[in-house]
Structure 1
Amino acid sequence: MEDLLKLEKQICFPAYAFSRELTNLYRPLLEKLDVTYPQYLVMMVLWDEFEKTVNQLGEKLRLDSGTLTPLLKRLEQKGLVNRTRSKKDERVVLISLTETGTELKEKAKDIPTEMLKFLDISIEDLTQLKNLLNKILNK
């Protein structure tokens, strides 16, 4: 009988290793912006949609509030986002971009192109990989 517990039989290991490698490739690019990878993810959502609630960010990024709250506090300390209570419901915290946070998008615009160079993979292969990962994540 085949031993399914061999490392080379697992999907989890290449997914984990790829995730770590990808994050490491982003690190020097993000250090120039003074943001971490999770902070960069938040900024990308806000560059696209300007304002979100903490819960909406958590859902979109698959992060719980215990992870997201300190991350958002650090972004606020850096002057990139504002955290304000909703006037409609005090329990809801709204996250929006500051002017500095909006300007950071211009500094980040070349990151996707740089990542493509680092990965040395076709856009078609990368799109196929992204689609497969999303298919698995959305089940």
Structure 2
Amino acid sequence: MLRPSHRRPRTCRQRDPARATAAAAAALLQHNGGVPRRRRCPTTFPTSWADDHVQVSRLLCVGGDDGIDSAFGSAYLVAEWDYPDVGVVLLDTPSGGHDTVMLDYRRCGPTGEPAVVHVDEDRVPREVAPSFAAFVAALELVTAGEDEDQDDDG
């Protein structure tokens, strides 16, 4: 994993200022990718993972071979998985690509604070938090057994 660098998030903002918020940039400055301790975000809607939450598995980094700005980063994931082009793929989920968590710039434009949305298998973005800071504040610890695939199919 890449080591934290103050230059990477600033470089990302310089390339595309609409793609990095202050809160997301702060998280990337501190962690620059990795597995959060709190990975469960309550939702008001069912997801393909659970009836009442979305689970995340990894915060993507900036820079390097697997950063959000790399050849296999956010733009690639949007095209490869047919996610809606509403912003930036910022977090992986345990599904391995079938759903994701993104920053959504549709309402705020290129300089505002984007909402955080969950994009499920139907590819409809649904808001889980009005901002990245609110999303981080809402995250909860994963309970025993939630790290396993929750499909009833086995």
**Greater fraction strand:** 2
Larger radius of gyration: 1
- What is the TM-score when the length of structure 1 is the normalising length? 0.23
- What is the TM-score when the length of structure 2 is the normalising length? 0.21
